[in-house]
Amino acid sequence: MKKVKNKNVFDRFLNRSPVFKGIQILLIPLIFSGLFANGFALPVPNKVFQQAQILVSGTVTDVNGIALPSVTIQEKGTNNGVLTDFDGNFTIAVSSTESILEFNYVGMKSHSKIVGGNTSMNVQMEEDSQSLDEVVVVGYGTQQKRHLTGSIGSIDMEEISRPAGDFGQAMYGKVSGVKIQNSSGAPGASSRIQIRGITSLSGSSAPLIVIDGVPMPTIDLNNINSADIKSIEILKDAASAAIYGSRAANGVVLVTTKQGKAGEPSVTLNYTYSSQKVMNDIDMMSGPQYARASIDAAQAGWVDSGGDPNAPNTIEARGHYKYTWPEALENPETLWDTNWQDLTSRVAPMHKVDLSIAGGDEKSKYYLSAGVLDQEGMILTTDYKRYTMNLKADTKVGGWLKVGGMLNVAYDEQSVLEGRVMHTVREYPPIYPEYGIDGYLGGPTTIGIDGFENYYNILLRSNPGGHPYWHLNRYDDDRHGVTTLGNVFAEIDILPGLKYRSSINASYRRYDRKLHEKIDGGVASPSRAQVLSSMSRTLNYTMENLLIYDYTLGNHDISAVAGYEYNQREYYSLEGERRDYDNDLLPYLSAGSTVYNTDDSANEYALMSVFGRLNYNFDGKYLISATLRRDGSSRFGPDNKWGDFPSLSAGWIVSEEDFMQDSQTITSLKLRASYGLTGNDNFSDYAWISRMEMTPVAIGNNSSSSYYPSSIENPDLGWERTRQFNYGVDLGLMNNRFTLEVDYFTSESDGLLLNVPVPTTSGFGSIFRNIGALETNGLELALTSRNLVGLEDGLSWTTQATWSTNRSEITQLGPDNAPLMMNRTYMDIINAVGEVPFSFFAYEYDGVYMNQAEIDAHGVEYNFPVHPGDGRYVDQNGDGKINAEDRTVVGNPQSDFLWALNNTFQYKGFDFSFQLDGSVGGEIFNGSGRRSLFNHGGRNYFALLENRWRSEEDPGDGYHYKLSVDIDGMEKKPSDYWLVSATYTRLRDVTFGYTLTENFAERIGVSSARIYFNGVNLLHWQEAETISDPENTTGSNSDAAVSGVQFDAYPTATTYSLGLNVKF
């Protein structure tokens, strides 16, 4: 495809057509909306309506007497409306003295007034304190949004109506600089979240999750019902995150759960019914196409080995089965044309019900909820169920003590797909039926056609064990989990302004798995049955003591927090396996006759921390904040147990200055700058210790155990450190009709832990060390435009857009900057100085040799014979040979930029919103293509290979080389032939809802009710034809190395939902 040569992100923007596409998609609606809004925002000439009888004019100001432009004034119950001009003046003609005028303005409480006898009307509008004093959750406390000095994204979960079981789905496109990837469409799967790119090459890249103030590094957020979540805050910059110290380098996600309010109990019921279908199937060859491709592969191998092209198709004539083919392939109409992707998927329903009750009085508050999620998977046999309960309560005692607590319990059940199903679904040859003779699975021996026996794994990699149903039905992989999460706290008012808070928090996760591999796989010969049963428990508890101090004197505002925290985690797992079962009737260990394996594993982790923060603001204009955390961790070597993580940030609210007070355009302007140091300790326990591994050894007829050192001790092992500067501007124009947040950051991570390869002559392949550094720079924009506000009986339209880019580059690796290679078998992934982390390092593919003349003209020597129709590769060093020296960086998984555009409309009781988003740039290694779908492996091929080179007369598209049974050339060596583009655009979300009028709601006995339709992933555009979804990844969500690697992913869903939301 294309080689990534331009290192500069901005060069790349200009050089890529999809970029333009992306920009256009992003900009066009924005420009539109901007024009639209401006049209309304401009001073509107006073209009006199013909039917009007009374002219009313006046001025609208805020409480301080400052004129408000662009205030909407409307005669209630009519279409008659005007806007104030820049001086706050208006004139409106109304029909009678009975008319009511409604004044609406962003950030202000709406105001109504009867005209009466007045023809002149001066109105003062009050600030809507709710929006002004908007409070966001920060580390160990809360802060007014206007006083923030760091970069924090906030998501109000009330505004999200996507009914997904996975909370990550709710976060798409909401906060710039946060990349969410739907790593798999499997029910119960979690999204991958990455904040501001990569800060580590070997540790986890997952952010720290904090639930109601308690860090929960191992929690899967999906074990909390998204309906119980009130808001999610994302601490993006290091200064905001630094108070979480050694675990904060990947950013922090703060989750706040719902709590009760004083007043009448309020009962909420949510129900959604969804229907999911596969968003995108991969185009594979049909039966006849596959048959032809197989014959071509055999013939090409024969001809290239020097055979006579016209030799008869017999083993006698051609000497080897791989150069011949079963006769039946020549008449594909006698075979089948089965679409395995269709047969193994279904339209799958999902139900989600949540019920909650919240209430309380002045002293006590409570919130109680229960939820059920029942999701069937789109691929047969998969499903997921989750039951959650949540109780949160607090009460005040004696005026100085507040005690409370929370208990959240989740039980989940999941049927997981066996790992190879998706690849058999795409790769099993279409020439076989679902079932053959005797009811056995369709395959070479059961279709009643002779001549296939000698071709297994030679020409045709088709066998009963490769049949999709064999994998689907032979394995039952059931998982069960129970997660409890709870805390108890006490908060004591010691002195005015000084509070002490102490809490104990614990989570306990028990996870069981039973894997039953059955004897009966639907084929003639039985398989070996086995049952593997495992269970694990994780206990994680945190003790926290905080002193909180708030003090205001005149213009001086001080708030401070100091705390001490101790966290311990204990993990234990146990597994057993038995084999040799007589039948499939008892899928339990007890029924197996051979005890094959029993094993356990245990580890512990402890973290001790002290921390503090001081916020000071002067006159509500000058803001400064400093934090410090000191962490000690059991993960580190004795020489490096403790680390300090300071941060400092400052802000200036320019718009509060006198000289800005008169500005009509700029309503608010804040400049921010911050610096912080954070760490990453998220890798395995005991990594610094050299272990003595025990293994069985035989001597004669005896067996015993021998011991050998399996790793090298490293007492210096310490944190990975990330230093980040963040510069931000928050701008509000025309009374915050437009708001813009811009953040630029630059971060440097060093002391990166790397498994540094060392010469194996030392006895080890690698050593784990704090070596290496990388740099990340990024730019983030978030724009909100309230295009229409409160016009025409409440029509409003808001556009939100986010755009972000970040680029990481490795700046140091080890003492001598030698590049590190990983994953060598399939695609070389390189970490090299000056390159993006996890770049693809491979041969550069350069199309097909169309004929012998081209081979001769190229004049490059390969390690094996090359024939017309083979691929051509670039001799990077020009030495006339293609060998390992010619590998180069051919791509990387890093996006150029991410964007999202969200439009929300409201009219009377109706609401409508849609979100478009996408990612531009970056490559993905298509691992399933590598195995065979791009080249001969006897399996089915991508339909794309219909464009392959077949002969000099029929050379295809000049890009896809021929298929051949002899592939010991370059076909299976890593090259950019296997890379596909990661660029995509998606209509992520469409929601259309209707809220009953209050009257009607009352009449049916509810306080409010809304019904809605929601669609997720309704439309998608992507450059890559050979993967189902560029967002999918293979491997752990927290592993930075896998972001650009995809093997046989469970497909992503397009989901249609109908929902009902009722409050009593």
Partner 1 sequence: MKSMKSMKYLIIASFLFSMNGCSEDNLDLYPLTTLSEGTYYKTLPQIESAVDDVYRQMGRLYSAYGIPSLYGLLLSDDGGVVAQLPGTPVDQPIDRHEITADNSRVESAWDVAYNAIFVCNNIISQIETTEVEIEESHKKRMLAEAKLVRALAYFNLVRAFGSVPLVTQKISTEEAYDYLRESPDKVYEQIINDLTTAKNDLPESHSGGDVGRVTKYGAAAVLAKVHLTIKNKQAAKGELEFVINSGQFSLDANNDGSVNINDYLYLFDPETKNSKSSILEAQYKSGPNEANSDHQIAFSPFSDTFVHPLIDDESIGRGAGINTPTDDLALEFEEGDPRKGISVVPGFETPSGSFVEYPFTLKYFDPNWFNAGQNFEIIRYADILLMYAEVTGEKEYLNMVRERVGMPAFESAGYPSDLYPTLELAIEHERRVELAMEMHRYFDLVRTDRAVEVMQPRILGDVKTLFPIPQYAIDVNPGLTQNPGY
Which residues in the 490-509 window bind partner 1 by CB under 8 A? Answer: 490, 492, 494, 500, 502
* Amino acid (1-letter code) at residue 125: M
Q: How far is the CB of 849 from partner 1 (least distance, A)?
A: 18
Options 120, 131, 883, 997; binder of partner 1; rule CB under 8 A: 883
Site size toward partner 1 (CB under 8 A) is 102
Considering only CA atoms, give the Rg of the chain. 33
Give the footprint of partner 1 on residues 688-727 (CB under 8 A): 689-709, 712-713
Q: How far is the CB of 87 from partner 1 (least distance, A)?
A: 57
Options 20, 686, 910, 1021; binder of partner 1; rule CB under 8 A: 686
Give the footprint of partner 1 on residues 369-428 (CB under 8 A): 398, 400-401
Three-state DSSP string of 264-286:
EEEEEEEEEEEEEEECCCCCECC
User: Residue 260: what are its φ and ψ, rounded to 5°?
Assistant: -75, 165
Only one of the segments 127-135, 224-232, 684-692, 1026-1034 lies at the binding site for partner 1 (rule: CB under 8 A); that segment is 684-692
Options 524, 586, 666, 1019; binder of partner 1; rule CB under 8 A: 524
Q: Distance between CA atoms of 963 and 952, rounded to whole angstroms?
A: 14
Q: Distance between CA atoms of 213 and 406, rounded to whole angstroms?
A: 12
Cβ atoms of 1052 and 1017 within 8 Å: the answer is: yes
Q: DSSP letter at 13?
A: H
* Distance set, CA 354 to CA 325, 391, 688 (Å): 59, 14, 46
> Would you say 528 or 1003 has its CB closer to partner 1?
528
Contacts 24+ apart (CB under 8 A), 492-500: 492/400, 492/401, 492/402, 493/399, 493/400, 493/401, 497/549, 497/550, 497/551, 498/547, 498/548, 498/549, 499/547, 499/548, 499/549, 500/545, 500/546, 500/547, 500/548
Give the footprint of partner 1 on residues 820-859 (CB under 8 A): 821, 824-826
Q: How far is the CB of 104 from partner 1 (least distance, A)?
A: 49
State CA 911 to chain mean position distance. 27
> Would you say 359 or 637 has its CB closer to partner 1?
637
> Would you say 395 or 502 has its CB closer to partner 1?
502
> Would you say 553 or 698 has its CB closer to partner 1?
698
Q: Mask 735-774, x = binds partner 1 (CB under 8 A)?
A: ----------------------xxxxxxxxx-x-------
Q: How far is the CB of 525 from partner 1 (least distance, A)?
A: 4
Only one of the segments 346-354, 669-677, 819-827, 897-905 lies at the binding site for partner 1 (rule: CB under 8 A); that segment is 819-827
Q: How far is the CB of 940 from partner 1 (least distance, A)?
A: 14
Cβ atoms of 179 and 895 within 8 Å: the answer is: yes
Closest CA to 10 of 1061, 709, 921: 921
Q: How far is the CB of 398 from partner 1 (least distance, A)?
A: 5
DSSP string, 31-77: HHHHHHHHHHHSPPPP---TT--EEEEEEEEETT--B-TT-EEEETT
Give the footprint of partner 1 on residues 910-929 (CB under 8 A): none
Q: Distance between CA atoms of 116 and 98, rounded to whole angstroms?
A: 6
Element (H, E) at 928: helix 927-928
Cβ atoms of 1009 and 994 within 8 Å: the answer is: no
Only one of the segments 452-460, 805-813, 846-854, 955-963 lies at the binding site for partner 1 (rule: CB under 8 A); that segment is 452-460
Options 20, 551, 588, 864; binder of partner 1; rule CB under 8 A: 864
> Would you say 17 or 761 has its CB closer to partner 1?
761
Cβ atoms of 869 and 961 within 8 Å: the answer is: yes
Q: How far is the CB of 761 from partner 1 (least distance, A)?
A: 5
> Mapping DSSP to helix (H, G, I), strand (E, B) and coil, where does residue 840 land?
strand
Q: How far is the CB of 630 from partner 1 (least distance, A)?
A: 12
Sign of CA dihedral 703, 705, 706, 710: positive
Query: What are the start-end ranges of the E strands in 63-151?
Result: 72-75, 81-83, 89-94, 100-104, 111-114, 123-125, 135-138, 141-144
Sign of CA dihedral 842, 847, 848, 853: negative
Options 419, 526, 834, 958; binder of partner 1; rule CB under 8 A: 526
Q: How far is the CB of 969 from partner 1 (least distance, A)?
A: 9
Q: How far is the CB of 520 from partner 1 (least distance, A)?
A: 11
Cβ atoms of 405 and 390 within 8 Å: the answer is: no
Give the footprint of partner 1 on residues 222-241 (CB under 8 A): none
Q: How far is the CB of 311 from partner 1 (least distance, A)?
A: 19
Give the footprint of partner 1 on residues 287-346 (CB under 8 A): 321-322
> Would you say 129 or 314 has its CB closer to partner 1?
314
Torsion of CA 374, 378, 382, 383, to 10 degrees: 0
Q: How far is the CB of 599 from partner 1 (least distance, A)?
A: 9
> Would you say 77 or 709 has its CB closer to partner 1?
709
Give the footprint of partner 1 on residues 597-656 (CB under 8 A): 597, 600-606, 608, 632-634, 638, 641
* Amino acid (1-letter code) at residue 246: S
Three-state DSSP string of 394-445:
EEEECCCEEEEEEEEEEEEEEEECCCCHHHHHHHCCCCCCCECHHHCECCCC
Only one of the segments 36-44, 135-143, 179-187, 457-465 lies at the binding site for partner 1 (rule: CB under 8 A); that segment is 457-465
Give the footprint of partner 1 on residues 237-276 (CB under 8 A): none
Options 973, 986, 988, 1010; binder of partner 1; rule CB under 8 A: 973
Which residue, chain included where needed, has tokens 């007045």?
A: 118
> Would you say 309 or 696 has its CB closer to partner 1?
696
Q: How far is the CB of 756 from partner 1 (least distance, A)?
A: 8
> Would you say 154 or 545 has its CB closer to partner 1?
545
User: Residue 302: what are its φ and ψ, rounded to 5°?
Assistant: -65, -50
Q: Distance between CA atoms of 611 and 629, rounded to whole angstroms?
A: 4
Q: How far is the CB of 632 from partner 1 (least distance, A)?
A: 5
User: Residue 213: what are its φ and ψ, rounded to 5°?
Assistant: 90, -5
> Would you say 102 or 631 has its CB closer to partner 1?
631
Give the footprint of partner 1 on residues 563-602 (CB under 8 A): 564, 566, 568, 594, 596-597, 600-602
Q: How far is the CB of 476 from partner 1 (least distance, A)?
A: 18
Give the footprint of partner 1 on residues 1023-1042 (CB under 8 A): none
Q: How far is the CB of 864 from partner 1 (least distance, A)?
A: 5
> Would you say 463 or 903 has its CB closer to partner 1?
463
Q: Distance between CA atoms of 788 and 903, rounded to whole angstroms?
A: 11
> Would you say 354 or 427 has its CB closer to partner 1?
427
Options 154, 364, 527, 755; binder of partner 1; rule CB under 8 A: 527
> Would you say 175 or 523 has its CB closer to partner 1?
523
Q: Does 29 bind partner 1 (CB under 8 A)?
A: no
Q: Distance between CA atoms of 254 and 248, rounded to whole angstroms?
A: 12
> Would you say 79 or 684 has its CB closer to partner 1?
684
Show Cβ contacts of residue 342 under 8 Å, excluding neighbours closer than 6 positions: 281
* Amino acid (1-letter code) at residue 384: Y
Options 968, 998, 1002, 1025; binder of partner 1; rule CB under 8 A: 968
> Would you say 605 or 797 has its CB closer to partner 1?
605
> Would you say 166 or 565 has its CB closer to partner 1?
565
> Would you say 30 or 562 has its CB closer to partner 1?
562
Burial 791-822 (b: 16+ CB within 10 A, else e): beebebbbbbbbbbbbbbbbeebbeeeebbeb
